[in-house]
């Protein structure tokens, strides 16, 4: 029995060393503080607990002892999780955790348990009995304290290593910024949607067993020469075969506060200065008010180059079809005055033109949205960005197809 207990502790310790604190991608709650708003105040909605900051999720309050309130976090991609870390703003008397593998059907991962602490606010890690595949996590609360509310500053999934994007806490008019493997092996921040649209996996990273951050090209995030002078230079270089015995230039760890620390180099953390990635004393970096030193791991699927290859092939085929259709239209323009005398031949020309227009429309519809569709959400913006990255001019394609249809109608009269 003692041997089993020791072995279990060793396994848990090993998993704990490799765990990642992953932010959820979306959240909802069964109760939200209203502040006079029937739908709940945006300042206290469930999304406020997706990452640490000045805001937090807060329930409506005045709950009875037996009333259950639930906060639910959802991932875009399933991950293997060891538990969940909760930073309470208003702690409950009892808590239960449920998990879902598909985002809809939930099962109990941790039964009702008392808080065991009397403080209003504190952070705790609730570990599952065994590693579990997770798409969503529901945190159920009951038995409120004398403060009457339930509140959460942030929730993070304690996950085993897997692919992720490093999303910077810094704000930008261009949207969320991701750390990417840019040209010449340097690293930089780039709008996450633009990076995804490129399709080369530049935004996909993963921790290896030696706490090195590895890109899809097998290179590791590295502080060049291990030199911290003037912030140093961050690059993607060959990973260290013996990272544990190295000077630590490729070794990183995520702190509870959301910083990426280089533990073997002292108290240095990754941050942004003058538009470039640098390292800075962690305490000094934490003084920045724009969260430029914070990075959130957002789970993503394994990089699959075949998807981007298929998109590029479709874009090439579309370009060739457009060229052919443009040529047919030019020829038709030249002979249009004589078509009435051609009889059946005019119908053949129209049929040929119609086939080219149909091909252009079919290939174009695979990679673009029409102008009539409003691009109001991130997914639509991503589709638009993908078309641009592939060199597809959606508006020009639509104009060409419209012109072909107009000419067909004239020829077939």
Task: Please list the alpha-helical segments (H only) found in 137-210.
Answer: 192-198
Q: How far is 150 from 154, CA to CA, in rounded Å? A: 13
Task: Give the list of residues 6+ apart from residue 251 with CB closer than 8 angstroms, or none.
Answer: 210, 211, 212, 243, 262, 263, 264
Give the model confidence (pLDDT) of 321-371 as tens digits.
878 777 877 777 777 677 666 654 555 455 555 555 555 555 555 444 433
Task: Give the list of residues 6+ apart from residue 136 with CB closer than 8 angstroms, or none.
Answer: 72, 73, 74, 75, 99, 100, 103, 106
Could you tell me the two tokens for 233?
Answer: 């230079």
Contact, 81 vs 34, CB < 8 A? no
> Nearest Cα to 349, choosing from 334, 361, 362?
334
Contact, 94 vs 145, CB < 8 A? no
Sign of the CA dihedral with 385 first, then 387, 388, and 390 last:
positive
pLDDT on residue 177: 93
Give the model confidence (pLDDT) of 270-295 as tens digits.
999 988 999 999 999 999 888 999 99
Give the model confidence (pLDDT) of 87-96 as tens digits.
999 999 999 9
The C-alpha torsion from 69 through 132 and 164 to 28, rounded to 10°, is -10
**Bigger pLDDT: 217 vs 13:** 217
Give the model confidence (pLDDT) of 86-134 as tens digits.
999 999 999 999 999 999 999 999 999 998 789 999 999 999 988 999 9
Could you tell me the two tokens for 296?
Answer: 């959130």
Q: For the chain, how far is it from start to end, CA to CA, in angstroms?
A: 90
Give the model confidence (pLDDT) of 152-190 as tens digits.
999 999 988 888 999 999 888 888 999 998 867 689 999
pLDDT confidence band for 4 (50 / 70 / 90): very low
Question: pTM for this one?
Answer: 0.58
């Amino acid at each position: 029995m003692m041997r089993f207990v020791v072995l279990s502790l060793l396994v848990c310790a090993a998993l704990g060393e490799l765990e990642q604190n992953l932010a959820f991608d979306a959240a909802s709650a069964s109760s939200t503080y209203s502040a006079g708003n029937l739908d709940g105040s945006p300042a206290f909605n469930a999304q406020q607990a997706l990452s640490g900051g000045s805001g937090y999720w807060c329930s409506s309050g005045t709950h009875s002892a037996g009333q259950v309130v639930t906060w639910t976090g959802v991932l875009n991609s399933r991950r293997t999780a060891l538990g969940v870390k909760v930073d309470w703003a208003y702690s409950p008397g009892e808590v239960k955790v449920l998990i879902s593998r598909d985002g809809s059907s939930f099962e109990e991962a941790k039964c009702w348990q008392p808080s065991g602490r009397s403080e209003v606010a504190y952070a705790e890690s609730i570990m599952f009995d065994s590693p579990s595949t997770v798409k969503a996590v529901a945190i159920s609360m009951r038995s409120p304290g004398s403060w009457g509310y339930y509140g959460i500053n942030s929730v993070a999934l304690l996950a085993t290593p897997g692919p992720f994007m490093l999303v910077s806490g810094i704000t930008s008019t261009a949207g969320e910024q991701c750390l990417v493997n840019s040209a010449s092996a340097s690293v930089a921040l780039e709008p996450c949607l633009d990076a995804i649209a490129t399709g080369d996996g530049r935004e996909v990273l993963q921790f290896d067993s030696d706490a090195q951050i590895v890109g899809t090209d097998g290179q590791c995030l590295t502080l060049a020469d291990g030199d911290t002078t003037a912030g140093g230079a961050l690059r993607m270089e060959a990973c260290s075969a013996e990272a544990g015995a190295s000077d630590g230039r490729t070794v990183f760890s995520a702190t509870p506060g959301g910083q990426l620390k280089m533990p073997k180099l002292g108290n240095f953390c990754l941050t942004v200065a003058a538009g470039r990635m640098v390292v800075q004393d962690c305490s000094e970096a934490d003084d920045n008010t724009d969260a430029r030193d914070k990075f959130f791991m957002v789970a993503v699927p394994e990089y699959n180059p075949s998807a981007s290859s298929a998109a590029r092939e479709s874009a090439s085929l579309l370009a060739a079809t457009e060229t052919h259709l443009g040529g047919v239209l030019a020829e038709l323009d030249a002979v249009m005055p004589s078509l009435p005398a051609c009889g059946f031949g005019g119908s053949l020309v129209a049929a040929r033109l119609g086939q080219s227009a149909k091909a252009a429309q079919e290939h174009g519809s695979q990679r673009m949205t029409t102008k009539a569709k409003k691009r109001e959400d991130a997914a639509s913006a991503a589709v638009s960005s993908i078309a641009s990255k592939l060199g597809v001019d959606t508006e020009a394609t639509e104009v060409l197809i419209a012109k072909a249809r107009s000419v067909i109608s004239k020829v077939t009269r």
